[in-house]
């Protein structure tokens, strides 16, 4: 494993992403920036995570550090195809998780909102097939699987493009108040003025 430094080819991607996320979240995070550790293979990922990981798991954050499966083994050790643009988006995705955690007081539920923000802000929706309608993402309040990534980015994109970023930032700030799906739904309705139901997310407006 190695940690990024000023000579890394990913330094500019990191710095540009960091600046863009600072602006979106309205923060002034300038000191003690996170480091990236590139993990060489699946075996090392399993050792670091203390469990057998799925082949779609290629990045995570822990205590302010970003861990990524190294690009040289990205296709060999995962189910993903490698491209420069998608790997750059992965860096921004994991970085966005750290920003979200700061705003949300380290509350990580609902999973769909947490992941959806990282997907939208990193531009990963561009690499996904656009769904005809949204009908699964709400199920991922506290459970996690690769399926949460299919719709959540588009759900967040809808909320931000339709209602602006301030409402979703307000929602993030209130995540620490809720401990259940029902409590989150009440907070969501108080901010957006409508029920957290699939029928209220219109994919055609994205």
Domain with CATH 3.30.2010 in the chain: 1-103
Task: Provide the pLDDT for residue 2.
Answer: 42
> What topology does CATH give the domain 1-103?
Zincin-like (3.30.2010)
Is it the case that residue 6 has pLDDT exceeding 60? no
The CA-atom distances, in angstroms, between 109 and each of 15, 174, 176 are: 27, 11, 9
Question: How much of the chain exceeds pLDDT 90, in percent?
Answer: 93
How crowded is the C-beta side of 142, counted as CA atoms within 13 Å?
A: 8
Radius of gyration of the chain (CA): 17
Is it the case that residue 31 has pLDDT exceeding 70? yes
Beta strands in 77-127 (DSSP E): none
- CB within 8 A of 47, min separation 6: which ones? none
Task: Provide the pLDDT for residue 8.
Answer: 78
Task: Provide the pLDDT for residue 100.
Answer: 98
Better pLDDT: 160 or 205:
160
Banded pLDDT at 18 (limits 50, 70, 90)? very high
């Amino acid at each position: 494993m190695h940690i990024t430094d000023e000579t890394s080819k990913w330094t500019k991607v990191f710095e540009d992403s960091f600046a863009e996320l600072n602006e979106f979240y309205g923060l002034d995070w300038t000191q003690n920036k996170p480091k990236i550790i590139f993990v060489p293979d699946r075996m090392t990922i399993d050792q670091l995570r203390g469990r057998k990981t799925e082949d779609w798991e290629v990045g995570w954050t822990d205590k302010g550090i970003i861990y990524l499966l190294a690009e040289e083994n990205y296709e060999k050790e995962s189910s993903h195809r490698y491209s420069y643009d998608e790997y750059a988006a992965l860096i921004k995705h994991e970085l966005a998780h750290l920003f979200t955690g700061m705003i949300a007081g380290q509350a990580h539920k609902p999973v769909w909102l947490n992941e959806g923000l990282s997907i939208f802000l990193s531009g990963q929706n561009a690499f996904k097939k656009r769904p005809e309608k949204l009908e699964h993402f709400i199920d991922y309040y506290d459970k996690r699987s690769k399926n949460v990534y299919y719709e959540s980015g588009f759900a967040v994109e809808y909320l931000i493009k339709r209602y602006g970023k301030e409402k979703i930032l307000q929602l993030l700030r209130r995540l620490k108040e809720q401990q259940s799906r029902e409590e989150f739904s009440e907070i969501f309705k108080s901010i957006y003025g409508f029920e957290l139901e699939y029928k209220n997310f219109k994919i055609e407006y994205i």
